[in-house]
């Protein structure tokens, strides 16, 4: 950490940016290779030619030969250019800015750090979001209208709102609480890594896989047929009648939420686990010496200390539940009084070709998320003050 002062202020301050500029030049060349649709094969072909392997080079240029190697080469370049280039960019520009007067340096430096992220976000998310909001106030001819927001006065909309509220409260609450408890419990057992891997597993499963898995849990057959669904097998085993879990409202919403909890708890647990590891062992040890029970330590010491993580995870999962789509789409399509905003939006746009109404629903989603953002902003400010 004290290295900074040992560098000779004159030379190295200039060597670094200059070397960086050379690196940047290499990156630009790399990006050109990446941008060219035939970049990978052509580059490898040139290499082959340089090595004297002319036939291999010709094959490559004709779209055959070692295409896999060409692809791997492309990926390596991407990694070097992508990660290395960004580092160079930050280091060089940061270094150059460092040469400026402190007054200017302090003004410009933060923008160097957040600049690339903001630029990408502007293109990939902000611009489409703005377009969507704009579209929600337009009819098919592009004229201003409020008609799209008629979705709000339709009877099913209240139901959709109710469903999203259930998702938000039950889904977020359960995932966060369970994630927290799991992280705490697992932290105290010897086979922590195994336990965490098992709870984490659902995250690794693709949506297709998850839909099959839960198909085997909720599957329903008429009474008298063999039940291949786990839950109904249990119900029938206990002498009950099989229940069509996914088509019976309102149980179906809870069944779908269970799938999300199963997926998201792993996420919450991983983040909380990392945070709990960050809580100083000395503090915990001190509390323990004071005679606090493990539960008290958890509630009084650990939870307050990782409050930031809890807010973060809650926010993330709350947003996931607000725009929950795929689980509903895959299990029931929202057809059994279990529709949610994002699923309806998807249907309006891609099935009913009602782009304006879909955009209106997306706009309502943005609005719904404002309170969540407000809480975050407040939390952010508090941290700035306390921090």
Partner 1 sequence: MTTPAQPIARPTVRVAPWRPAFIRSLPLRLSVFAICFLWTLPTLGLLVTSVRDPRNITTSGWWTALLHPFEANQWTLSNYQTVIASDGMGNAFINSLIVTIPSVAIPITIAAFAAYAFAWIPFRGRGILFTIVVALLVVPIQMSLIPILQIYAAGNLYGSFLGIWLAHTGFGLPLAIFLLYNFMSQLPRDLFESAAIDGATHLQTFIRLVLPLSIPALGAMAIFQFLWVWNDLLVALVFLGPGAEVRVLPTALYQLIGSRGGSWHLLTAGAFITMVVPVVVFLLLQRAFVRGILAGSVKS
Partner 2 sequence: MAKRLRATCALAGVVMLMVSACGSSSTSPSAASVAPSAASVAPSTAASVAPSTAASVAPSTAASVAPSTAASGAPPAAAVPTVPTGYTELDKALGADTPFKGKTVSIQTQWVGGEGNNFAASVADFAKATGINIQIDSIGSSHETVLKTRIEGGKPPDLAMLAQPTPVLSYAAKGKVIDVATFMDPKKLSAEHPATIGLVTQGSNIWGIPYKADVKSTIWYPIKAFEAKGYKVPTTWDELITLSDKIVADGSNPWCVSAGGPGDATGWQLTDWVEEVVLKTKGPAYYNDWISHKVTFQDPGIKEALDKYVGKIFFTPNYVFGTNTAIVPQDQKTTMDPMFDGDLASPKCWMQKIPTWYGPDFFPDQRATSQPSKYIVGTDVGIFPFPTIDPAQKNVEGSADTLMMLVDRPEVRAVAEFFATPQGLQKWIEAGSAISTNTSTPADWYAGAYKLKVASDIVNTAAAIGFDASDLMPGKVGAGTFWTQMDQWANNGGTNTDAVLKAIDDSWPSN
Chain residues binding partner 2 by CB under 8 A are 154, 208, 211-212, 215, 219-223, 225, 244, 246-248, 329-333, 335-336, 346-347, 349-354
Three-point CA angle 338, 342, 343, nearest 5°: 50
Q: What backbone phi and psi angles, to 5 degrees, belong to 138?
A: -120, 150
Which whole-number Å values give the CA distances from 140 to 146, 151, 353, 363, in the listed order? 12, 16, 10, 17
SS3 at position 198: helix
| Contact of residue 354 among partner 1, partner 2, none (CB under 5-8 Å per partner type) | partner 2
| Contact of residue 35 among partner 2, partner 1, none (CB under 5-8 Å per partner type) | partner 1
Three-point CA angle 156, 159, 164, nearest 5°: 125
Nearer to partner 1, 57 or 340 (CB): 340
DSSP 64: -
| Contact of residue 196 among partner 2, partner 1, none (CB under 5-8 Å per partner type) | partner 1
Instruction: State the minimum distance, in angstroms, from the CB of residue 145 to partner 1.
Output: 19
Nearer to partner 2, 174 or 361 (CB): 361
Nearer to partner 1, 57 or 219 (CB): 219
Instruction: State the minimum distance, in angstroms, from the CB of residue 335 to partner 2.
Output: 5
Instruction: State the minimum distance, in angstroms, from the CB of residue 332 to partner 1.
Output: 18
Instruction: State the minimum distance, in angstroms, from the CB of residue 235 to partner 2.
Output: 14
Instruction: State the minimum distance, in angstroms, from the CB of residue 212 to partner 2.
Output: 6
Nearer to partner 1, 46 or 293 (CB): 293
Nearer to partner 2, 106 or 154 (CB): 154
Residues 6+ apart with CB under 8 A from 257: 166, 167, 170, 171, 174
Three-point CA angle 279, 203, 197, nearest 5°: 55
| Contact of residue 132 among partner 1, partner 2, none (CB under 5-8 Å per partner type) | partner 1
| Contact of residue 247 among partner 2, partner 1, none (CB under 5-8 Å per partner type) | partner 2
Note the Cα 277 to chain centre separation in Å. Answer: 22
Instruction: State the minimum distance, in angstroms, from the CB of residue 269 to partner 2.
Output: 27
| Contact of residue 114 among partner 2, partner 1, none (CB under 5-8 Å per partner type) | partner 1
Instruction: State the minimum distance, in angstroms, from the CB of residue 311 to partner 2.
Output: 34
Nearer to partner 1, 118 or 223 (CB): 118
Which helix (H) or strand (E) is 364 found in, with range? helix 355-386
| Contact of residue 148 among partner 2, partner 1, none (CB under 5-8 Å per partner type) | none
Of the candidates 277, 283, 307, which has an alpha carbon nearest to the alpha carbon of residue 176? 307
The per-residue DSSP string of 204-263 comes to: HS-HHHHHHHHHHHH----TTSPP-SHHHHHHHHTT-----TTTSTTHHHHHHHHHHHHH
């Amino acid at each position: 950490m004290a290295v900074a002062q040992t560098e000779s202020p004159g030379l190295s301050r200039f060597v670094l940016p200059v070397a960086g500029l050379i690196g940047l030049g290499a990156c630009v060349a790399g990006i050109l290779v990446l941008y060219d649709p035939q970049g990978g094969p052509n580059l490898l072909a040139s290499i082959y030619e340089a090595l004297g392997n002319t036939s291999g080079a010709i094959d490559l240029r004709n779209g055959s030969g070692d295409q896999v190697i060409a692809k791997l080469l492309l990926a390596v370049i991407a990694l070097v250019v992508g990660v290395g280039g960004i580092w160079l960019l930050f280091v060089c520009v940061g270094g150059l800015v460092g040469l400026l007067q402190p007054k200017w340096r302090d003004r410009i430096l933060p923008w160097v750090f957040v600049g690339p992220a903001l630029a990408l976000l502007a293109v990939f998310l902000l611009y489409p979001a703005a377009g969507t909001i704009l579209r929600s106030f337009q009819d098919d001819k592009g004229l201003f209208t409020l008609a799209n927001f008629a979705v709000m006065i339709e009877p099913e909309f209240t139901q959709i709102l109710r469903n999203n509220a259930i998702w938000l409260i039950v889904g977020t609450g359960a995932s966060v609480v369970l994630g927290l408890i799991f992280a705490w419990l697992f932290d105290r057992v010897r086979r922590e890594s195994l336990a965490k891997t098992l709870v984490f597993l659902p995250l690794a499963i693709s949506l297709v896989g998850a839909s099959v898995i839960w198909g085997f849990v909720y599957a329903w057959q008429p009474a008298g047929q063999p039940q291949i669904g786990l839950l109904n097998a249990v119900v029938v085993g206990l002498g009950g009648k099989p229940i069509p879990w996914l088509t019976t409202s309102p149980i179906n919403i809870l069944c779908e939420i269970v799938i999300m909890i199963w997926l998201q708890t792993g996420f919450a647990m991983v983040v909380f686990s990392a945070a709990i590891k960050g809580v100083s062992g000395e503090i915990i040890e001190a509390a323990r010496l004071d005679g606090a029970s493990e539960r008290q330590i958890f509630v009084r010491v650990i939870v307050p200390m990782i409050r930031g993580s809890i807010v973060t995870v809650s926010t993330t999962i709350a947003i996931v539940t607000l725009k929950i789509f795929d689980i509903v789409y895959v299990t029931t399509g929202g057809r059994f009084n279990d529709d949610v905003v994002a699923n309806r939006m998807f249907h309006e746009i891609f099935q009913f070709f009602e782009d304006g109404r879909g955009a209106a629903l997306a706009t309502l989603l943005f609005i719904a998320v404002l309170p969540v953002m407000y809480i975050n902003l407040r939390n952010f400010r508090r941290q700035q003050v306390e921090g």
